[in-house]
Amino acid sequence: MASIKRHIPNTITCCNLFSGCVAVTMAFQGQFEWTLAFIVLGAVFDFFDGMAARLLKVSSPMGVEMDSLADDVTFGFAPAAMVFVYMKSLLYPQFLGGVAEYIPYLAFLIAVFSAVRLAKFNIDKRQSVSFIGLPTPANALFWSSLVVGAGGWISDEIHSGWLLIVGLIFLSSYLMVSEIPMFSLKFKSLSWSRNKIRYFFLITIIPMLFLGFLSAVLIITWYVILSISLAMRKR
């Protein structure tokens, strides 16, 4: 029984990795809604593998390494592949000439900086109760929801949509590896005084939950703004 219990968290992590692999496949096939679905499914597994490890008291160095590998596939490579395929469909100005066909490859910076973010998280002891930089699941949900919810609008209505996407790639990559403190949604108690920012965040995002695929875009954006505002106040 003990040997079975030891493998439960890693099995859940493998489910996260499997979801990420399917998400990557869906992304390269241009099936963006399915990509988003499997990224969300991977996020669910990512939440429960850590919880299972804590509840069963079977955390291990191997589990940590597997978790980071799975996360970079599901929350790094999958959204990067999605953005890459999406960017290949955008219109680019003529002055870029032959360079335009290479611009979509900038999307893979999402996967690269996600890996750096995960590596930093594993060795940074400051992130036990909060985050330093934007968590990779939040970044992945932002990108996948943006492409599904607003991809058509950006390509049809924004003349320089490609420039907006490139700018967001650089911005999100920076946010993941930045030193900006970002609050966690982990509740150690239900006390209002100790969880004001968490309660405030959860209350304010309720209207956003009814906005379909764009919900995650607005929620993650609000999360970043709120975290930065809180960090500036503490300074």
Q: 98 vs 218, which has greater pLDDT?
A: 218
- Whole-number pLDDT of residue 23: 98
pLDDT at 9: 80
Residue (of 72, 71, 55, 52) closest to 10 by Cα position:
52
**Lowest model confidence (mean pLDDT) among 13-22, 34-43, 55-64, 181-190:** 55-64
| pTM of the predicted model as reported, rounded to 2 decimal places | 0.89
Question: pLDDT at position 31, please?
Answer: 96
Average pLDDT, the chain: 88
Give the pLDDT score at 4: 66
pLDDT of residue 128: 62
What's residue 188's pLDDT?
Answer: 64
pLDDT digits (tens, 9 = 90+) for 94-145: 888 889 999 999 999 999 999 999 998 888 777 666 788 999 999 999 999 9
**With pLDDT > 90 as the criterion, what percentage of the chain qualifies?**
55
Residue 171 has pLDDT above 60, yes or no: yes
Among residues of the chain, what percentage have pLDDT more than 70? 89
Domain boundaries defined on the chain = 2-183
Q: Residue 1's pLDDT band (boundaries 50, 70, 90)?
A: low
CATH number for region 2-183: 1.20.120.1760
pLDDT at 49: 75
Specify the range with the lowest mean pLDDT, choosing from 89-93, 145-149, 162-166, 185-189: 185-189
Q: Averaged over 166-176, what is the pLDDT? A: 97
